[in-house]
Amino acid sequence: MTARYDFFVKETGVENAYLRIGYDRNPFRPVADGSAQQPLYTGHIGEQLQQIQQWAREIHEKRMLQPLSIVGSLGTGKTTILRVLEAGLSAWPRTEKVFVHSVLLSDTGYARASVGAMLLSGLEHAMESIADEVPSEVLAIVWAVIQAVDVPGLTSGPLGSAIKKARGVNGEQRQNLAVDLSQWLRRLPLTLARARASGLARPIDWEGELVGVVAELLTLAYQAGVLKTFFLFVDQIEDLFRPTFSELRRARSPGGGSPPH
C-alpha cells in the first residue's frame, strides 16, 4: 500500500490520503458508475441481506411478486447493497434468463421521472445479449420475441398486432417491421407509409400508457421463453417525495403515490 501511495504522489504531485487506506477516493461517497471499490460491512445486517436474497429468489421463482424497498438514512449503504445485489443477479447463468437494470433517479431527469421510460431504458441496455444478430435500430427483446418459436397471448392491441404482423413475414420485411416497432416503443416518429405498414400510427403516451405497453412486451417475452425475470432497481427514489413533485407526478412515477416505508 505504501508503494502505491508514493507512486501516486510522485506521478500526480497531489496527495491522496484515501490511498493510505486502500481506496482511490472517498469510499463512502456514492457515485453513479461505481468506479471505486466501496466497503460493505455485513456483520450487523446479515438477517436483512438474507431477506433481500430470499426476495430475489422468490421473485425469480414467481412465488412472490411484491416490490422491495431498502430504507435507511443517508450514508448507511443502500446504494452499495443495490450494487451488490445487481452484481450477484447479473452473475447468474445465462440459462436462468435473468436481466437486471439499475438507474439513479437523478439521471433520468426529474421532470420526466417515468417508470415506463426506466423500463424501456432497461430493455435498451440490460437485454443487449437476449438475441443473436439483432438488426440495426431494433430492440433486442423485440427481435427475440419476433423470432421466437411460439408467442402465446398476443393481443389485438397495437403491440400484439405489430408483433404478429412481423412474425408473418420474413427477410427485409420482418426487419423493417421490427425497426418500426422499436422506433414506436422509443416514441420516435414514423413516416406515414411506415406507420400504415406496421399499424403503429398513434404515438404512445409517455407517462401512463408506456408502462402498460412495456409491461405487455415483457409478458410476451416471458410467455415466449425469451426471459424469466427482469429486475429494475431505482436508486434515490426518496427524491420523489420532495416538494418539487406533485401528487400527480408522484403517482406516475416508481413511487406509485405512496411514501417509502
DSSP H or E segment with residue 230: strand 229-235
Q: Does residue 250 register a pLDDT over 70?
A: no
pLDDT of residue 17: 75
pLDDT of residue 64: 80
HSE value, Cβ hemisphere, 13 Å, CA-based, for 2: 0
**pTM for the model:** 0.74
Residue 33 lies in a domain: yes
Residue 217 lies in a domain: no
Residue 23 lies in a domain: yes
Residue 132 lies in a domain: no
Confidence of residue 58 (pLDDT cuts 50, 70, 90): very high
Q: What's the mean pLDDT in 128-151?
A: 90
Of the spans 6-10, 37-41, 154-158, 240-244, which averages the highest pLDDT?
154-158
Q: Could you tell me the three cell numbers for 199?
A: 399499424
**pLDDT tens sequence across 183-202:** 999 989 999 999 999 999 88
pLDDT of residue 11: 46
Q: What's the mean pLDDT in 170-176?
A: 96
SS3 156: coil
Q: What is the mean pLDDT of the chain?
A: 79
Q: Could you tell me the three cell numbers for 96?
A: 436462468
Q: Enumerate residues 6+ apart whose C-beta is below 8 A from 258.
A: none
Range of the domain at 23: 1-39
Q: How many CB atoms lie within 10 A of CB 183?
A: 19
Q: Does residue 160 register a pLDDT over 90?
A: yes
Place of cell 456483520: 43
Place of cell 433486442: 140
Residue 34 lies in a domain: yes
Q: Could you tell me the three cell numbers for 51?
A: 431477506
Residue 222 lies in a domain: no
Q: Does residue 5 register a pLDDT over 50?
A: no
Q: Does residue 170 register a pLDDT over 50?
A: yes
What percentage of the chain has pLDDT greater than the value 70? 75
Q: What's the mean pLDDT in 202-223?
A: 88
Q: How many domains does the chain have?
A: 1
Residue 13 lies in a domain: yes
Q: Enumerate residues 6+ apart whose C-beta is below 8 A from 252.
A: 114, 115, 207, 208
Choose among 114, 136, 118: nearest CA to 126. 118
Q: How many CB atoms lie within 10 A of CB 184?
A: 25
